[in-house]
């Protein structure tokens, strides 16, 4: 069997030479179209209640009643507590066959679920304290336009980048996937390009506008992210979207794709620009990290991080930080001097960069967020206090 590095090197040579290459025979066996076992009516009833209350998440944990998240706050949906067997019996029938097999083998699985007339949901079935638990997120029926997300206007320029790696960082529930989908939609509407998304599961369903969009779901269309990404590179894409950078192999292939002229967009579970870049390098063995930093310095085009804050009057509003990567940032990444990246945001402001503190300050001055709430989210507190005196 060939070594993965040799296979990747061969793939990069093909891309650089722009030589036509026949597609390899697929090794993926299509998922069987077995009928859904059991009955998911109770889960459907709960999800209809979540949708009616404009909730974001349904949380099912043993010992507690079904809980719904509305505007960031978790509250009971019903009174009676659940047990693990109930949760498993409720959720398992909603999973497709490949996800049920994964749950039986690994005790954790993700899948999408559709209720006709209500919408689509992302299901995560897992275990805690030896019992089944689930988190079900409602997915918007339409991809939101980028201008409706409340992000600073500079973020829109990411959709105009011709090539390179764009990372969107943030904690769980910060809207990373929504921002990524909105960027893809913007490219789809403005450019004549071939876009391939690789997701687990597919969250937003794109339609073809000026671009053509292929959406690959892990477990349904491909067995894992690395194989799906390798296959995508031979499908003549202009834009590749990787739902999440989960493992070193996926990161390595994504870097190679960005270095060979593709625009690659992905998300990372991080909190700021420096930690986003550090997360990539630190995912590799120590002997590989310096090489990866050199590749990352060449491939990286931009890093966007975001978080959600309670809006005055209800709802949530995003605050963000954007670094458009230039010469100075590349040098800091090569030397692993990531503590200097914050000052690069100031240096590259004319190219569209902005700090989290600037974003938070604007939200306070616009009357969208309380000063104390913004203050607790600031990473560089002194900068925020200078931009936003407490009297304002």
Domain with residue 315: its CATH number is 3.40.50.300
pLDDT at residue 306, as a whole number = 98
Q: Do 204 and 330 fall into the same domain?
A: yes
Domain count, the chain: 2
Q: Tell me, rounded to whole angstroms, the distance of Cα 42 from its chain centroid.
A: 29
* 381 is a domain residue: no
Q: Does residue 155 form part of some domain? A: yes
For residues 167 and 212, membership in a common domain is answered with yes
In a domain, 150, yes or no: yes
What gap in Å lies between CA 124 and CA 97, rounded to an integer?
14
Pair 128, 185 in one domain = no
Closest CA to 263 of 276, 254, 253: 254
Number of Cβ within 10 Å of residue 291's Cβ equals 12
Whether 337 is in a domain gets the answer yes
Residue 113 resides in a domain: yes
Residue where one domain finishes, among candidates 82, 114, 139: 139
Last-in-domain residue among 139, 154, 170: 139
According to the model, what pLDDT value does residue 172 have?
Answer: 87
pLDDT for the residue 8: 60
Residues 128, 180 within the same domain: no
Single out the residue of 106, 113, 105 nearest to residue 36, CA to CA: 113
b/e map 308-319, b = 16+ CB within 10 Å: bbbbeeeebbbb
DSSP letter at 157 equals G
Q: Are residues 160 and 263 in the same domain?
A: yes
Q: Give per-residue burial for 209-225: e unless 16+ CB within 10 Å, then b.
A: eebebebbbbbbbbeeb
Q: What are the structure tokens assigned to 379, written together?
A: 């990473």
**pLDDT for the residue 17:** 54
> Tell me, what's the pLDDT at 25?
33
Indicate which CATH number applies to the domain containing 93. 3.30.450.90
pLDDT at residue 21 in the model: 38
The pair of structure tokens assigned to 297 is 């310095």
Domain that holds residue 126: 41-139
Q: Which residues of the chain have pLDDT under 50?
A: 1, 18-39, 392
* Residues 75, 156 within the same domain: no
The residue to which tokens 């060979």 are assigned:
260
Using the 3D structure, point to which of 139, 171, 201 is the last residue of a domain. 139
User: Is the domain of 112 the same as that of 231?
Assistant: no
Q: List, in sequence order, every beta strand (DSSP E) within 79-222.
A: 109-115, 119-128, 131-139, 164-169, 194-199, 212-217
List the 131-139 sheet strands across, edge first. 73-76, 67-70, 57-60, 131-139, 119-128, 109-115
Per the CB < 8 A criterion, the answer to whether 134 and 87 are in contact is yes
Contact 320, 151 (CB under 8 A): yes
What is the CB neighbour count within 10 angstroms for residue 109? 25
The reply to whether 168 and 48 lie within a common domain is: no
Dihedral sign, CA of 378, 380, 382, 384?
negative
SS3 content of the chain, % helix, strand, coil (to 5): 40, 25, 35
| Same domain? 54 vs 73 | yes
Is residue 121 in some structural domain? yes
Q: Which DSSP helix (H) or strand (E) runs through 291?
A: helix 286-299
**How confident is the model at residue 15, as a pLDDT?**
57
Q: Are residues 135 and 167 in the same domain?
A: no
| Residues 130 and 271 reside in one and the same domain | no
pLDDT at 99: 92
Does the residue 160 lie in any domain? Answer: yes
Domain assignment present for 3: no
- 234 contacts: CB under 8 Å, gap ≥ 6: 11, 14, 21, 23, 24
Same domain, 95 and 156: no
Please report the pLDDT score of residue 30 as a whole number.
Answer: 33
């Amino acid at each position: 069997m060939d070594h993965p590095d040799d296979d990747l090197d061969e793939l990069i040579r093909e891309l650089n030479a722009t030589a036509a290459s026949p597609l390899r025979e697929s090794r993926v066996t299509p998922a069987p179209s077995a009928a859904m076992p059991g009955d998911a009516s109770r889960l459907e009833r709960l999800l209809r209640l979540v949708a009616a209350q404009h909730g974001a998440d349904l949380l099912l944990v043993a010992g507690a009643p079904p809980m719904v998240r509305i505007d960031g706050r978790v509250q009971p949906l019903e009174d009676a507590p659940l047990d693990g067997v109930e949760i498993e019996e409720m959720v398992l029938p909603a999973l497709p066959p490949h996800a049920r097999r994964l749950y039986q083998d690994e005790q954790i699985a993700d899948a999408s679920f559709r209720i006709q007339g209500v919408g689509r949901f992302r299901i995560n079935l897992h275990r805690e304290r030896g019992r089944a638990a689930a988190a079900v997120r409602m997915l918007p029926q339409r991809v939101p336009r980028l201008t409706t997300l409340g992000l600073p206007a500079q973020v829109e320029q990411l959709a105009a980048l011709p090539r390179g790696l764009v990372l969107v960082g943030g904690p769980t529930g910060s809207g990373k996937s929504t921002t990524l989908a909105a960027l893809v939609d913007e490219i789809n509407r403005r450019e004549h390009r071939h876009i391939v998304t690789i997701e687990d599961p597919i969250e937003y369903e794109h339609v073809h506008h000026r671009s053509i969009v292929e959406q690959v779901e892990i477990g349904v269309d491909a067995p894992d992210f690395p194989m799906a990404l390798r296959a995508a590179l031979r499908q003549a894409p202009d834009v590749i979207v990787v739902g999440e950078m989960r493992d070193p192999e996926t990161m390595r292939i994504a870097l190679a794709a960005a270095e060979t002229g593709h625009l690659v967009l992905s998300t990372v579970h991080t909190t700021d620009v420096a930690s986003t870049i550090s997360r990539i390098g630190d995912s590799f063995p120590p002997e590989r990290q310096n090489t990866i930093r050199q590749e990352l310095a060449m491939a990286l085009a931009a890093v966007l991080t975001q978080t959600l804050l309670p809006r005055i009057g209800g709802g949530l509003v995003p605050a963000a930080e954007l670094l458009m990567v230039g010469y100075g940032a590349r040098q800091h990444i090569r030397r692993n001097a990531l503590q200097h990246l914050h000052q690069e945001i100031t240096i590259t402001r004319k190219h569209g960069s902005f700090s989290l503190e600037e974003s938070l300050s604007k939200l306070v001055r616009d009357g969208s967020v309380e000063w104390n709430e913004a203050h607790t989210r600031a990473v560089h507190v002194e900068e925020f206090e200078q931009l936003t005196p407490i009297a304002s």
